[in-house]
Structure 1
Amino acid sequence: MLNLKKIHHVAIICSDYKRSRHFYTEVLGFRILLETYREARDSYKLDLEVGGQYQIELFSFPNPPARPSHPEAAGLRHLAFEVDDIDEAVFHLNECNVVTEPIRIDETADKRFTFFADPDGLPLELYEK
């Protein structure tokens, strides 16, 4: 048995580093742990802290290939973030010109949630605690 403890990080490749850096730090409010420019790859790597426990690694590469991001496509379906107050979080996103879906109720957990997208169309979810 591997005895895996937790998810350490999620890595995201963006198409426009400056736009995605702004989105993840200014709109979503993640704290920058480390920002590195890797000259040999002409690439940035931005380590972000999520809730004091997890990390998102935001990468830029020259001309990354597009990836289908349909909700039912094979692969990562979406990335979900827990919030205490979904109404407050949705209001903030909308104030930042981020479009959110209507808030729904998870039929099995009876919790409220909604979806939105990052600048590259990666599906993101807010899930109320």
Structure 2
Amino acid sequence: MEVILEKEPAAGYRLVALLEEIAGSQDLMEKLSWDHYGGQPHAPEQGASMSVAKWLNLYRKGLNIWRLRDFELSRLGHEYRVIYAFIPAKDLYFVLAVVERAFNYDPSHPVTQRVYSAYKRLEADGW
């Protein structure tokens, strides 16, 4: 987040506000586990300001990892994604990364490797 705040302050502040908004809303927190919630920025579902989806490559490997796309950022031309783990047994969410969409979820990309490692550390810690 620090890099984003330095590089693109408007996008960074929007991401911080989004995460704070989600943390303060049980309704939004619940929607973080609704696969394909929200639609697309040009065709959002009624009242949706974000879209949520499983990261399928990792989800198929047994990792409960998701991505969040903020429609306001997309409309402003910023393509960042919040990558997070969902621990349903404890109803917990952990932000693992905030990244530019350009990494394209490539399994060999350093971001993917970092997310995978962070998730495995969560598992090792008993989450």
TM superposition score normalised by structure 2 = 0.32
Q: Which structure carries more relative contact order (alpha carbon 8 Å, separation 6+)?
A: 1
TM-score normalized by the length of structure 1: 0.32
Q: Which has the higher helix share?
A: 2
Q: When you count strand as a share of all residues, which structure comes out higher?
A: 1
